[in-house]
Structure 1
Amino acid sequence: MTAASTKRLDERTYECFTVEIANKIAHITLNRPDQFNAMNRAFWRELPEIVREIDDNALARVIVVSSTGKHFTAGMDLSVFTSGKSQEGKETGRLRANLMKNILRLQKTFGCLDEARVPVLMAVQGGCIGGGVDFASACDMRYATKDAFFCIQEINIGMTADVGTFPRLPHLMPQGLVRELSYTGRRLFAEEAKSCGFVNAVFDTQEDMLKAVMGIAREIAARSPLAVHGSKEMINYARDHSIADGLRQIAIWQTGMFQPHDMMESFKAKSEKRDPDFDDLLPLDDAL
């Protein structure tokens, strides 16, 4: 174990992020505003490290993702596609095999948000471009300032988005709109994103947005963590399966995971006119 890994998560220094954990809420902030928070190599390494540590160790009941500067993110940094080593003379098949492996690794970065036991809320200001749409589509909820916009930028540079937009976005907005955005590369501005259901709410300023999103995060953190975890599991499962499969899965989940203690605590707290006091999820190592 390195010296850095023994530090509290919110005491560590990251190249692309700052992390704060308070009141059972983890706040992850993209923090390269001078580079428009472009997703460089460190981004793809640091984000899953942070999210998995929060999730695996049950450090928070909800995650909020926000950003700094004019734009949420300019998308993929071109340095991700260059190794710095000459590929001249290399066998094409080997290079393509490496490319596929690298794409799968990038996909796992945002997969960790989908797979986390806790909800992930994203607060977007300015542009959320290219890989930013992949990022946003992997979160549970999205909020935006009135100047925010989303753009599937890949089509504008002659490629197909490949890190999560197409598997997830058609579940979050009408497929015809997804196709239009994907084929044209036009900007989806905040109010249209709200009208089609991609974002939950639009705010005048980033300050107003963060205040509201943190309020929603506090509401989530006050609920039974096991019940919230189960809700996220079932919503994700239903998204990927038939209605019949989803109904059977919730029956199986409820049979094995229903926690009468949390329900009794809810009723007791209400009768005593106090906030309920629920147990946190167990760290994954302790849950084995």
Structure 2
Amino acid sequence: MSWASEGSELAPDVAPPWLKPLVDNAKDIKHAYRRRVSPEVLAMVTAANTKASITGQRRDAAVLVLFSGPAEAAPGSGLAEADLLVTVRASTLRHHAGQAAFPGGAADPGDDGPVHTALREANEETGLDVGRLQPLATLERMFIPPSGFHVVPVLAYSPDPGPVAVVDESETAVVARVPVRAFVNPENRIMVYRKENTRRSAGPAFLLNEMLVWGFTGQVVSAMLDVAGWAQPWNTDDIRELEDAMALVGHDTGGQARSDLGIDTDYGRAQP
């Protein structure tokens, strides 16, 4: 499925001051994303993209990158109260099972561009009232093997998105509004690689209370922190194999590391 158009309305000026640095530099996110991808992984992705193009197996998809937080906070201060909507995919799915992800999915024939796809999928997965948010910008398409999707991240903002929850347990295991400060905290950042690959292929990941955010989603979050100027220096030499990193999810790893969210609730479950 390919979109006939991408004509859905975007309103970047609606972004609050603390989110402006990200919106203003949205065009740089794909470059920052690719900078964190190892040469061998980038070569693999390029080859898979070329093969999918030749065989006609590429499919359009979109994900919703929804930030929530105060509307009037000054740049920098708003991050203390901001959050990012993240899901964890059901362990039974064919592709990316058990992986943290932005809500989203494949385009349907009736979708009018990536914004429509992202909003429809987010509503279906999380029950999100899409009337309470404003799309701000669309990022450049990014190819994801092995699913063969060309994914457009749709950056959006809401001062209060309302309740979200798991709608279909066969597709989604967790829905969470994760504090942005949890991603910014350098103690929550590691590098992760798959067992079948080498340490050289490791990419940025975030080891949080109830989820490991890695892969495509981890790369996008890392790129957003970089281009918005939110990233803090972190230990890129802390490299873990994926299974070892996943084994740490939900466990105390010592001190404030991995759990310094500044909140008492179990954010890894659906938030009211």
TM-score band, normalised by shorter chain = under 0.3
Q: TM-score scaled to structure 1, two decimals?
A: 0.26
Select the structure of larger CA radius of gyration.
1
